Structure 1
Amino acid sequence: MNSETISARFQLNRSLAVDQLKDNKKKRASAVMLPLIDIDNEAHVLLCKRPTYLHHHPGEICLPGGKFEINDVNLRTTALRELHEELNIAPQNIHVLGQLPEYSTLTGFTIRPFVGLIKKETVWENDHNEVQASFLLSIKALNNAANWQPLPFERGGKIITLNGFITPHGLLWGATASIIKNFTKQLAIPV
């Protein structure tokens, strides 16, 4: 499956209009970009690994993104700004297809995921203050149920099970894994 197929399927399932996305001051709002690029006519997701010295989520696999800031017009602006800050991908080098439903984390954040197609000629460069490594995973691999493993853990006296995906840079799990799985479900691809 390439980005053209994904774009056609995603357009059929668009979520809320972008202008409806204003920060709710009562929530700790954030946004991420799920950036897609074709490699050998197959769609891939561009992911980041956070540096291990960071205080929040050190060494974790994530999508480019972060908290809503006062100068951001809306959460789409947040996602584009963070993509530029973390991977030096300018807003004009990505075509935003739309957004996925808001995701609430166990740590009290809400995340608005946006899906965008990176232009073919785009070269990205990690900001080493925020990104230890960046890498691609194919939608085909992410769609393979055999690549996902249940990860039970205890939180607040309850057992919670999340799904995880082993990457060359560590475990993809938590909010990022859930967002990617929600994306493939929206494309009507079973995961």
Structure 2
Amino acid sequence: MTTREDLRSRLIEAIGETGRPSSDYDLNPDVHLPEGRKLREAAVLVPVSLEPRGARLYLTKRSSRLKHHPGQVAFPGGKVDAGDADATAAALREAQEEIGLGPQNVEVLGALPRHETVTGFDVTPVIGLLHDRFEPVAEPGEVQEVFSVPLELVTTPARFSVERRRWRGEWRHFFTVPHGPYYIWGATARILRALADRMPG
């Protein structure tokens, strides 16, 4: 049976693995990104909880009314504001605002390499291990639903597949790792795939 310390050690080991930054363009080598492009700094929290049913990862389904990525599955997170001390502070603030996860309930273990999105964000994925279980509270303006998936599902490379769709007139390939009614794809799936590639067995 997995203990919290076992889970903590595995996550810290994964964070410590070397690897290049990821991006939404990884599976699309023909895309040439302009030099000197300006990205907006953002951060997401990757919240992991050890529960009686095993290790779980919490995700959100974004509101269909949002301008950016409506209806998509995402980590709690957003832009780094001027008042945030750093990306970690931004991720914790956003998690509290979006899903009601208090920062006192999160042990920050570190961060994965930054991820560049097609929408112009430079995202820092912050890995957090919850001290205790919590009852998610979705912020109705941004979050349609909060749900969890088995950590094993999204940290096993073989569970991911590559699909494609047309975007701005061209085919774009991306990772996906579906779970029940939830279609996890795009930047969220790519960040999870980066974590999966680093996780020890």
Query: Structure 1 length normalisation: TM-score?
Result: 0.84
- Name 1:185's counterpart in structure 2: 197
Matched, 1:112 2:124: yes
Matched, 1:90 2:91: no
Provide closer, same or farther for how the CA distance between residues 145 and 27 of structure 1 changes in structure 2, counting only shifts above 3 A: closer
- Name 1:27's counterpart in structure 2: 39
* Structure 2: tracts of 5 or more residues without a match: 17-37
Shift of 1:90: 1.1
CA deviation string 1:41-97 (max 9, x = no partner)? 621110000111112111000000000111011111100000000011111011111
Q: What is the distance in 2 between the residues matched to 1:185 and 1:146?
A: 10
- Name 2:12's counterpart in structure 1: 11
- AA aligned opposite 1:123: E
Shift of 1:145: 5.1
CA deviation string 1:18-59 (max 9, x = no partner)? xxxxxxxx5300000000011226211100001111121110
Which of 144, 161, 177 lines up with 1:132 in the alignment? 144
- AA aligned opposite 1:87: I
Provide closer, same or farther for how the CA distance between residues 119 and 153 of structure 1 changes in structure 2, counting only shifts above 3 A: same
Which of 64, 71, 74 lines up with 1:62 in the alignment? 74
Contact 2:164 2:172 in 1 (8 A): yes
Q: What is the distance in 2 between the residues matched to 1:65 and 1:58?
A: 14
1:111 is paired with a residue of what secondary structure?
strand
Q: What is the distance in 2 between the residues matched to 1:2 and 1:58?
A: 36
Which of 61, 74, 81 lines up with 2:93 in the alignment? 81
Query: Structure 2 length normalisation: TM-score?
Result: 0.80
Provide closer, same or farther for how the CA distance between residues 139 and 13 of structure 1 changes in structure 2, counting only shifts above 3 A: closer
Paired residues in the alignment total: 179
Contact 1:44 1:136 in 2 (8 A): yes
Q: What is the distance in 2 between the residues matched to 1:141 and 1:12?
A: 18
RMSD: 2.1
Shift of 1:168: 3.5
- Name 2:56's counterpart in structure 1: 44
Q: Percent identity?
A: 30
Which stretches of structure 1, 4 residues or more, deviate above 6 A after TM superposition? none
- AA aligned opposite 2:140: H
Contact 2:47 2:129 in 1 (8 A): yes
